[in-house]
Amino acid sequence: MEASQTAVNGAASATASQLLVDRSHRETIGQQFVENPRMTCRNVDVYYGDKRAINNVTLDIGSNEVIAMIGPSGCGKSTFLRCLNRMNDYIDICRVEGEIRLDGQNIYSGEVDVVPLRAMIGMVFQKPNPFPKSIYDNIAYGPKIHGLVATKSETDEVVETSLKKAGLWEEVKDRLDQPGTGLSGGQQQRLCIARTIAVNPEVILMDEPCSALDPIATSVIEDLIDELREQYTIAIVTHSMQQASRVSQRTAYFHLGDLIEVGTTDQIFTRPGHQLTEDYITGRFG
């Protein structure tokens, strides 16, 4: 990362840490705003202690779109994604400033209970992390604790529907009582997606959901993301530009905590408007 900072700032003699301290925030270019936003982020700053990891990010996330977040390692993609469902609350030294709303409601307001919030804005992680429970219980657990199901038959139905939506039902319907951890990596990740879906989310956040998977399992998940878009809004962090161009309609390019550029995925990859975006997508650094 240090090499790219130096190259990008065109100051070969400065150290990376000087650059982090000295340079000011870069203005975002492109289409930060959409007509029907599901989430709105305004002037979001994120600090770890006194180090600022996200600088004044303003961005809408549209309804039923897949937005990809790309950029060099350490640029703040995961940090920003975690702001969207207050996952950063778990990190003691982390402080989020600015405003983030879901359907107009400020998710950082004191009245918001983060447990239902994280059901509404679910998250899928890099490494599939099924609970050490049966396939059935992996899905049933959330709806039970959120009070979405009252009877066994309701629970059965949510389990089946969620597994179907995640494209896993046919593969597991005859072994629902077996441990979720016994599935293949790709199946485990679809199980985690099914678990997220089971609690009726509006938005699904995915942080490099395929980075631990082989190409075949990756392509199954990518097809699934495309189907899920009809019902959900999806924000996906990916280090794969091919993946961003395959699954997303909009792409946001981050660099050293700044949102440099956002636009349609087609525009970002064919006609980037910012030199830093161009350098990244053409593989000059990152």
Ligand X SMILES: Nc1ncnc2c1ncn2[C@@H]1O[C@H](COP(=O)(O)OP(=O)(O)O)[C@@H](O)[C@H]1O
Per CB under 5 A, does 78 bind Mg ion?
yes
- Residue 179: which of Mg ion, ligand X, none does it interact with, CB under 5 to 8 A by kind? none
Site residues (CB under 6 A) for ligand X? 48, 53, 71, 73-79, 91
Residue range at the interface with Mg ion (CB under 5 A); choices 70-78, 107-115, 149-157, 278-286? 70-78
For 224-239, the DSSP string reads HHHHHTTT-EEEEE-S
3-state SS assignment for residue 248: coil
Residue 244 one-letter amino acid: A
Between residues 40 and 238, which has the closer beta carbon with respect to ligand X?
238
Query: Least distance in Å: CB of 70 to ligand X?
Result: 9
Nearest-angstrom CA–CA distance, 8 and 25: 14
Query: Least distance in Å: CB of 202 to ligand X?
Result: 23
3-state SS assignment for residue 252: strand
Residue range at the interface with Mg ion (CB under 5 A); choices 24-32, 76-84, 195-203, 255-263? 76-84
Query: Least distance in Å: CB of 46 to ligand X?
Result: 8
Between residues 158 and 206, which has the closer beta carbon with respect to ligand X?
206
Per CB under 5 A, does 79 bind Mg ion?
no
Q: What is the Rg, in whole angstroms, of the alpha carbon atoms belonging to the chain?
A: 19
Quote the strand ranges of the chain, DSSP E.
29-30, 37-48, 51-62, 66-70, 94-102, 105-106, 121-124, 203-207, 233-237, 250-255, 258-264
Between residues 90 and 230, which has the closer beta carbon with respect to ligand X?
90
Nearest-angstrom CA–CA distance, 265 and 272: 10
- Residue 4: which of Mg ion, ligand X, none does it interact with, CB under 5 to 8 A by kind? none
Between residues 48 and 125, which has the closer beta carbon with respect to ligand X?
48
- Residue 48: which of Mg ion, ligand X, none does it interact with, CB under 5 to 8 A by kind? ligand X
Q: Do residues 125 and 131 touch, judged by C-beta distance below 8 A?
A: no
Sites of contact with Mg ion (CB under 5 A): 78
